[in-house]
Amino acid sequence: MRNIVLFGPPGAGKGTQSEFLVNHYGLVHLSTGDVFRFNIKNGTQLGKLAQSYMDQGKLVPDEVTISMLKAEVEKSPEAKGFIFDGFPRTTAQAEALDAFLSERDDSIEAMVALEVPEDELKSRLLARAETSGRADDADPDVIQNRINVYNAETAPVADFYRVAGKFKAVNGLGTIEEITERLVEAIDA
């Protein structure tokens, strides 16, 4: 299997780029944020729990997120691999993903990280709010909170993959096509 982690702060372009990468590599896109939003829309227990965290720009607890992710992976037994988008977001999630994949004789091939300056992230998220309908994109305080949580809890996850020799940084500024090209080059290198 080809399992790729697409990493980066909120607003870096992970969702947009995932669309191109799943087509290019024939992989399954697994966005934990999308799964949470689907559950919120459908009024499930998981959705109700997740919403209280998402509205504040906080992370949904690891235990909940990890078991949800495992269930999602198991829904696609025929997958040639996954693009993990928005997961792992903590070192505990990265460790759990590694353990889960190795039970299946599988592993993460690479983490590709989109690098975008903070000012650009904020303006992208506010612009996205116009069309995304996402409350967490529309409120500057929630955006700041998401960026702070990223810096404190998520950025260290890069080290987990760096130590394993799987980390690749990609410049996340430019046109969508330019960034896709850089990602493909990094993944294929």
Q: Are the CB atoms for 167 and 161 separated by under 8 Å?
A: yes
Residues 71-100 that bind ligand AMP (CB under 6 A): 86-87, 89, 93
Q: In the annotation, is 37 catalytic? A: no
Site residues for ligand AMP, 37-76, by CB under 6 A, read 53-54, 57-60, 65
- With a CB cutoff of 8 Å and minimum separation 6, the contacts of 110 are 4, 5, 161, 166, 167, 168, 186, 187
DSSP string over 45-72:
HHHHHHHHHHTTTPPPPHHHHHHHHHHH
Please identify the residue of the shown chain whose CB is closest to the bound ligand AMP. Answer: 33
Q: Is 89 a catalytic residue?
A: yes
Q: How far is the CB of 34 from ligand AMP (least distance, A)?
A: 6
Active site residues per annotation:
14, 89, 128, 134, 146
Residues that bind ligand AMP (CB under 6 A): 10, 32-33, 36, 53-54, 57-60, 65, 86-87, 89, 93, 136, 146
